[in-house]
Structure 1
Amino acid sequence: MLNLNSFLSYNARNHPNKIAFIQGDQSITYAELEKQINKVANGLVALGIQPGDKIAVSCPNRFYFPIINYGALKIGAIAVPFSILLKAHEISHQLKHSDSKVYFCYEDTPQLSMGTDGLEGFKSSHSCTHFISIPVDVGNPQHIEGYKNYVNLIEGQSDEFTCYPTTETDTAIILYTSGTTADPKGVEISHSAIVWNARACLSTFRGTVDDIILTALPLFHIFGYSCNMNAAIMGGLTNVLLERFNPVETLKAMYSHKVNILTAVPTMFWQLVHSGRTDETKDLIPSIKKNIRLCAGGAAKVPPQLSKDFQELFGIKIYEGMGISESAGIVSLCDISKEPILGSIGIPIVGTEFKIITTDFLEASPQVIGELCIRGVSVMKGYYKNPEATFANFLEGGWFRTGDLAYMDEHGNYFLVDRIKDLIIRGGRNIYPKEIEEVLMTHPAISMVAVIGIPDQQYGEEVKAFIVLKPHTNLSEHDLSLWARKELSAYKYPRIISFVDSLPLTASGKIAKKELKAREA
């Protein structure tokens, strides 16, 4: 048998009173966590759910998420986490495509209409059998006529359950991609893949039961799911959950809970730097600096200037890595026993191999940019019910094409250049938006930037930069253009500049370039 619940049960037996999760002013121990998971497992069995059935869930970072996820895995069912930002028609599509039989959905909040959209999507799917609402306040659950809620499900259920003997190759989760290039694809991941990746994360982070990790990353995203939730449960860490990312609240939580491991995406690091210099939080920084031992970044390339600004404020360097849904989480990280190499995503984690290929599918030499391919024990089984996409993305020998441009240096360290789909071809010349963004970020008045290619009759594509300025600074388009011409090659500097108050973000906190491109279409 191979199941993440085995590791949770180990910690519930050997560290029963250890705090597993903290949520606001509430906490739950490993022993209590397992009891709640067992109640959900028994409740699902009572509904007639069988091993192999799909259990979908829309839920922010609250205790419910790990409880429902591990409850599904415990009975041998397949967990299907949804983004909490999905609209009704998207929920309906993913419920139907995943063949989900149960849908757990969080109630509406002032920020998001998850419950309303979820129920509408459930009804229009015509395929999912059970809708179960998750209460914002467990003491005052919403009652929807004809449907159960979480409290109803676990009421009267036993807090004991024997884990179903899932095998290594059984599917554990189906995780939908963000759909940046087409309709979202369901990434089918086995039990061996999620267990191996959690183990690799724990080992790479040097995690122990004494560590306290903060999770502001969404748990429905593979970064938060594997590196934060699964790795922490496997290692017996304490996990501080934030329902949504807010830089001030994050700094306060890091201070009050003495957090020593932080994982984040670049936009989060950027906001922490900005907020950490304000009167509201600057007194917290010395204590945060004293406690923090690891900051790991991923999901997008961390601009070098941001890494320098972060280290200047918090006294610690960002260890950059890479992770993708198709490999169950993390695939590389800079070695935390050494100084991180600025701009590098490090080396492949144990059990994972990298290869850079050229356009003619030959292995690239060091320093030569090509497409990054990976293979290893945590790579997905395939895209659920989409053999065409699975075939298109795998090469002979089990190599998965990531769609990322990268290169390896002479020491075996890897560097991301950009996404292939974001490459700008201006007048026949390749331009990498990340390169331009990193240069623009060094301007003293610029806080954040996104660069895209837009259609142009003369050159095919033209370079456009969206600029967010630092507070209390002024910069004209003319002055920035003059500065950029000095810092960038003549064919690279942005001809079109747009000053904006903010940049659109995806549910995982990455800059939503798809939305920026749609505005220019």
Structure 2
Amino acid sequence: MAGLPNVGGTIGRIVATAQNGLEVIRMGGFDTGTEPAPYRVVETEQMYRLRRYFPDDPGDGYSHVILIPPMMVSANVYDVTEENGAVSILHKQGIIPWVIDFGSPDHEEGGMERTLTDHVLAISRVVDLVRGVVGRDIHLGGYSQGGMFAYQAAAYRRSEGIASVVTYGSPVDVLAALPLGLPAALAVPGAEILADRVFHKLWIPSWLARTGFQLADPVKTARSRIDFLRKLHDRDALLPREDQRRFIEQEGWVAWSGPAVAELLRQFVSHNRMVSGGFVIDGDIVSLTEIRCPVLAFVGETDDIGQPLAVRGIVDASPDADVYEALVPAGHFGLVVGSTAGRLSWPTTAEWIRWHDGEGDEPAEIGPMDPDRKGRGSGISWSNRLTYGVGQVAGAGTALTKEIVEAVESVQRTSRAVAAESVRTVPRLFRLGQIQSSTRISLGKLMSENNRRTPDAELFLFEDRVLTHEQVNTRIDNVVAGLIECGVRPGEHLGVMMDPRPSALVAIAALSRLGAVAVLLSTADDLDEMLTIAQTRAIVTDPVHLEAAAAVSDRVLVLGGGDQRVIDRADGVEIVDMEQIDPDQVRIPAWYRPDPGHAGDLAFVLFTRVEGRLTRWSVTNHRFAMSAFGAAAAAGLSTYDTVYCLPPLHHASGLLTTLGATVAGRSRIALSNGVDPGRFGQEVRRYGVTVVSYTWTMLREVLHASDFDPAQLSSVRLFMGSGLPTGLWTEIDERLPRAKVLEFFATADGSAILSNIDGSKIGAMGRPLPETNDVAVAAYDTEHGQLEVDANTGFVRQTEPNEVGMLMSHAGQRFEVSGQVLRDVFRRQDRWEVSGLLFRRDYDGDLWYMGSAAASMRTADGVVYPEPIRQALSKVPSVDQVVVYSVGEPGAEVVVAAITLRDGVASTTPTLLRIALGEIAATQRPHLITVISDIPVSESYRPLVVDRSMPRPGSRIWFRDVDGRYRRYTRSAADTIDWSRPTPQPVSQRPSGDQSAAGPSAVAAPVVETTAVEPAAVGDRSAE
């Protein structure tokens, strides 16, 4: 009713207010007389009902769009008002709207068990259905979380059948700007707790969803209610917004299922995988990088929920899509409902659809989304929202000064970083420090603990497949049963020769769970020697390596059945197809105890080659734990990380600092079929990789590929591994500034584990990992191969800064010593293991590797160390690979540096090579530098010296003259040089005192070398 016209003034207002208020109380609102747009339900499934609006219009020649509501909002959100409703406006513009109605889960059969995956798969089925009906690609649109669904469905389908994606206030980079201005450091652990402990049991009713939406902007909610009450006497003034008010206040909300909320919090809040990639849909790995179709994202200038910075995350998450944006002066709800949406959002959507279907021009209201979003809005903080709201309500507001706000935010960021790092690392290091010889700890036990903690969390990602902790744990137990059936017992040594894939990791973990010893084998020519050294009688392998294993072992157990090679060869005795063993039929013996390994027990056997000699590396459970927990702490690994495992498992970087650290950090492991530059970037983006592990020159092919795109690695925060050449390290720093390098170094017996954690000194090995064995550098006489003793004390002397000496590791754990141990070394009753490796310690205490004692080269000028030469030459831009070796008898050895050039580089200059060696004293530089055509690499990508012969004179070989410069090595020069005589030094380079024990940096004179560069020689760089 409109009130009583003949009653004026205050009494009339009171009566009208009472009458209208009674109608609102009884009916929930005013009867506006509006009618919903006509539609017909054309498909019904347990997950949804599909509405086809304006069913009487055949839509000949029309475009088609599928609209997706958020989980907590009714599908009627696209038809709230008759004049400004989305479906009506789109239809008037020649577009047929289809709307997915998920219903209210609390009223649907099985609705409270729905997951996010169920929603995405339902949307994908709808796309197929509608596309089949209309015979053309369709457009996919979604509001808020419905837009997130649209992105996910488009990525899951690789954009097949989708003409474009249109979203309205849909966050992608969720952690960049959370609702209410919540800090990510607070929201992330909170989301994890809610997902794991609350929403797997509970659900969100519709009234709670409505309340949560209103609390997102309490000031605006309060203001709108006050306005409604103040105008309650004026029915005509309220009617235009009544449908919208009733939708927000009462009718527009539906329940959320607990599993769907938990998955939302875990994947897209806690892990932020809309940006990083690697989220899971129906067991498949999905990344928004798979979106190829055009994208239009509507951004609300005052949107508190889908904040601008979070919405604009789509431009980074989908680098292969053409991404546009439309900026709308509205909040979250105003993007799709109300006068602003009717004037801007939906007409612009219609123009966008017609443009991409070739039936119109590009909309004037849109523009390409700028990847550099600085200055374009960074989210609406709680303080800004509250200040703005109070100002609107009270007519006044006071803001803190910019300086105070920035100071407070800086303190908060620092505190959050310190707290987060402490939470991750302190428990690991504390546990590591408590390990004793009798402590039960092993790889199998760590994986059992992770399974008990988070059985449904993803563990292995491989070839777009996902395996959870529970699935992997079940597989491990099944393989253990198979090993028992094959007669394997605790303590037995079994070779493992497999490519990095889930079955290989399962085999290693199964041997650990059984208490057997995994002997990690390569496919090198010395397999026989490896088996003999490790006392191994049987090999576990995959079909790929069956022939190689059968050639050296009388008993081969094969994992990964179904391969014809296995079927043809398996006889059940010498070659056993373990996939044919039914674990349920295996009788488990009384002696079996899962994960029996103690810290002092031998767990793994690795192999390393020192100067051509194969050496066994015995790894106890304690040393495995030291490496695993220490590396996980140094890398800051957590459940938010996905580690991309490139190294082979028989290398320490593959077993210890990749598999071990990932398990200790409870991270996901992404596995690859070798290093392929084209596949590398795709898999990094698809899996959402945050950490890449490597060995030696493994990253060279990726970084040097002609089509390498650093943007493909935007999710990577860390590269970790060992053996990285300084040149590649420098390239990573320059080309991927957001990523860091964590370089590890372990002695051949694993007694010392070093890491360069901060990466500020490129090429340094850093310091010992926390809670691992302490190290010292002992003075060492390289000429005579013995430690130097202080004449006064009788103890071994520790080196001075930059003096080269022998690395020693403190032998604190008596139960696992495997190398040579000396007592009473630096003081009474101490115990130190001799590593056989030479290092120098700089003035800051960081360690630099010089090479092994056996690899030191004895020339007429003194001892030359190979590692500084390798690292220096690797920094030359034209140089690809470097190896260093010597020719001749000790005391007159000729040091040769062999290099290869990068693809497309025809030559290099001696000036460039000499400048690269400028920090090394002239007598410490190689006598000859030669360019060769190829340097082969091992399975772990370590450059190998194949030909140790004396290079012949030629146009691409240079010798070092008396001034340390390099000149063309001609036949006449070869005939006149006497390598057995010391090289005369220029006066400026002759040491003023006894510095024979000092390392290269101690005698290098970079200033002298720089001034010695001739202007003509510098000019030659451009000429060549």
Q: Residue deviations 1:191-238, cap 9 Å, x none? A: 222123211111111111110001101111111101111221232211
What is residue 419 of structure 2 aligned with on the other side? Answer: none
The counterpart of 1:149, out of the listed 554, 577, 582, is 577
Does the 8 Å CA contact 1:222/1:325 hold for their aligned counterparts?
Answer: no
Residue identity opposite 2:511 in structure 1: A
User: How far is 1:61 from its partner?
Assistant: 0.3
What is residue 507 of structure 2 aligned with on the other side? Answer: 68
User: How far is 1:400 from its partner?
Assistant: 2.3
User: How far is 1:158 from its partner?
Assistant: 7.0
The within-5 A match list for 1:79-228 is 79-83=518-522, 85-87=523-525, 90-108=526-544, 114-123=545-554, 130-135=555-560, 141-146=566-571, 147-153=575-581, 156=584, 163-178=594-609, 180-182=611-613, 184-228=614-658
- Comparing 203-212 and 481-490, the one that deviates more: 481-490
Secondary structure, aligned partner of 1:204: helix
User: How far is 1:137 from its partner?
Assistant: 5.6
What is residue 711 of structure 2 aligned with on the other side? Answer: 286
> 1:92 and 1:225 mapped to 2: Cα distance?
22
Q: Residue deviations 1:479-507, cap 9 Å, x none? A: 77787898865434444333223312222
- Assess, with a 3 A threshold, how the Cα gap between structure 1 residues 488 and 228 changes in structure 2: closer, same or farther: closer
> 1:479 and 1:408 mapped to 2: Cα distance?
29
Secondary structure, aligned partner of 2:729: helix
User: Between Structure 1 and Structure 2, how many residues are aligned?
Assistant: 484
The counterpart of 2:767, out of the listed 347, 353, 376, is 347
The within-5 A match list for 1:305-320 is 305-315=727-737, 316-320=739-743
> 1:34 and 1:244 mapped to 2: Cα distance?
25
1:13 aligns with 2:452: yes
User: How far is 1:357 from its partner?
Assistant: 0.8
Does the 8 Å CA contact 2:896/2:927 hold for their aligned counterparts?
Answer: yes
> 1:485 and 1:407 mapped to 2: Cα distance?
18
Q: Residue deviations 1:273-316, cap 9 Å, x none? A: 212xx23x42xx22413x12222241x3632x432222111113
- Assess, with a 3 A threshold, how the Cα gap between structure 1 residues 313 and 355 changes in structure 2: closer, same or farther: same
- Give the structure with the larger helix fraction: 2
Does the 8 Å CA contact 1:193/1:378 hold for their aligned counterparts?
Answer: no
The counterpart of 2:838, out of the listed 394, 398, 405, is 405
> 2:566 and 2:940 mapped to 1: Cα distance?
28
- Comparing 165-174 and 96-105, the one that deviates more: 96-105
The counterpart of 1:430, out of the listed 863, 884, 908, is 863
- Assess, with a 3 A threshold, how the Cα gap between structure 1 residues 301 and 157 changes in structure 2: closer, same or farther: same
Does the 8 Å CA contact 1:38/1:159 hold for their aligned counterparts?
Answer: no
> 1:379 and 1:228 mapped to 2: Cα distance?
27
The within-5 A match list for 1:305-384 is 305-315=727-737, 316-327=739-750, 331-336=753-758, 340-351=760-771, 352-359=773-780, 360=788, 361-375=796-810, 381=816
RMSD: 3.0
Q: Residue deviations 1:318-343, cap 9 Å, x none? A: 23231235127x7121234xx53222
- Assess, with a 3 A threshold, how the Cα gap between structure 1 residues 272 and 145 changes in structure 2: closer, same or farther: closer
Residue identity opposite 1:307 in structure 2: W
User: How far is 1:56 from its partner?
Assistant: 1.4
Task: Tell which structure's C-alpha radius of gyration is larger.
Answer: 2
Identity of aligned residues (%): 17
What is residue 702 of structure 2 aligned with on the other side? Answer: 272
1:59 aligns with 2:501: no
The within-5 A match list for 1:293-312 is 293-298=717-722, 300=723, 302-303=725-726, 305-312=727-734
Does the 8 Å CA contact 1:217/1:224 hold for their aligned counterparts?
Answer: yes
- Assess, with a 3 A threshold, how the Cα gap between structure 1 residues 479 and 313 changes in structure 2: closer, same or farther: closer
- Give the structure with the larger strand fraction: 1
What is residue 326 of structure 2 aligned with on the other side? Answer: none
> 1:73 and 1:485 mapped to 2: Cα distance?
47
1:507 aligns with 2:928: no
Residue identity opposite 1:375 in structure 2: H
What is residue 421 of structure 1 aligned with on the other side? Answer: 854
Q: Residue deviations 1:13-61, cap 9 Å, x none? A: 2222222111222221111111111011111122232221112111110
Does the 8 Å CA contact 2:538/2:553 hold for their aligned counterparts?
Answer: no
The counterpart of 1:464, out of the listed 896, 901, 904, is 896
What is residue 386 of structure 1 aligned with on the other side? Answer: none
- Assess, with a 3 A threshold, how the Cα gap between structure 1 residues 213 and 167 changes in structure 2: closer, same or farther: same
Task: Normalising by structure 2, report the TM-score.
Answer: 0.44
User: How far is 1:72 from its partner?
Assistant: 1.0
What is residue 948 of structure 2 aligned with on the other side? Answer: 517
Residue ranges of structure 2 left out of the alignment (5+ in a row): 1-439, 781-787, 789-795, 824-829, 952-1024
> 1:519 and 1:381 mapped to 2: Cα distance?
43
> 1:345 and 1:353 mapped to 2: Cα distance?
14
The counterpart of 2:689, out of the listed 253, 259, 263, is 259
- Comparing 460-469 and 240-249, the one that deviates more: 240-249
Does the 8 Å CA contact 1:484/1:494 hold for their aligned counterparts?
Answer: no
Does the 8 Å CA contact 1:481/1:494 hold for their aligned counterparts?
Answer: no
- Assess, with a 3 A threshold, how the Cα gap between structure 1 residues 379 and 204 changes in structure 2: closer, same or farther: farther
- Assess, with a 3 A threshold, how the Cα gap between structure 1 residues 177 and 488 changes in structure 2: closer, same or farther: closer
Does the 8 Å CA contact 1:196/1:378 hold for their aligned counterparts?
Answer: no
Secondary structure, aligned partner of 1:103: strand
1:235 aligns with 2:670: no
- Assess, with a 3 A threshold, how the Cα gap between structure 1 residues 96 and 154 changes in structure 2: closer, same or farther: farther
> 2:444 and 2:550 mapped to 1: Cα distance?
30
User: How far is 1:257 from its partner?
Assistant: 1.4
> 1:450 and 1:248 mapped to 2: Cα distance?
27
> 1:154 and 1:179 mapped to 2: Cα distance?
43
What is residue 64 of structure 2 aligned with on the other side? Answer: none
> 2:562 and 2:733 mapped to 1: Cα distance?
39
User: How far is 1:456 from its partner?
Assistant: 6.5
Does the 8 Å CA contact 2:812/2:831 hold for their aligned counterparts?
Answer: no
User: How far is 1:365 from its partner?
Assistant: 2.4
> 2:721 and 2:443 mapped to 1: Cα distance?
24
- Assess, with a 3 A threshold, how the Cα gap between structure 1 residues 259 and 94 changes in structure 2: closer, same or farther: same
User: How far is 1:375 from its partner?
Assistant: 2.9
> 2:493 and 2:520 mapped to 1: Cα distance?
10
Does the 8 Å CA contact 2:617/2:750 hold for their aligned counterparts?
Answer: no
> 2:872 and 2:664 mapped to 1: Cα distance?
40
> 1:508 and 1:10 mapped to 2: Cα distance?
31
> 2:615 and 2:871 mapped to 1: Cα distance?
31
Residue ranges of structure 1 left out of the alignment (5+ in a row): 109-113, 124-129, 384-389
Task: Normalising by structure 1, report the TM-score.
Answer: 0.84
User: How far is 1:105 from its partner?
Assistant: 2.3
- Comparing 426-435 and 30-39, the one that deviates more: 426-435
- Assess, with a 3 A threshold, how the Cα gap between structure 1 residues 417 and 255 changes in structure 2: closer, same or farther: same
Does the 8 Å CA contact 2:822/2:833 hold for their aligned counterparts?
Answer: yes
User: How far is 1:187 from its partner?
Assistant: 2.5
> 2:815 and 2:949 mapped to 1: Cα distance?
30
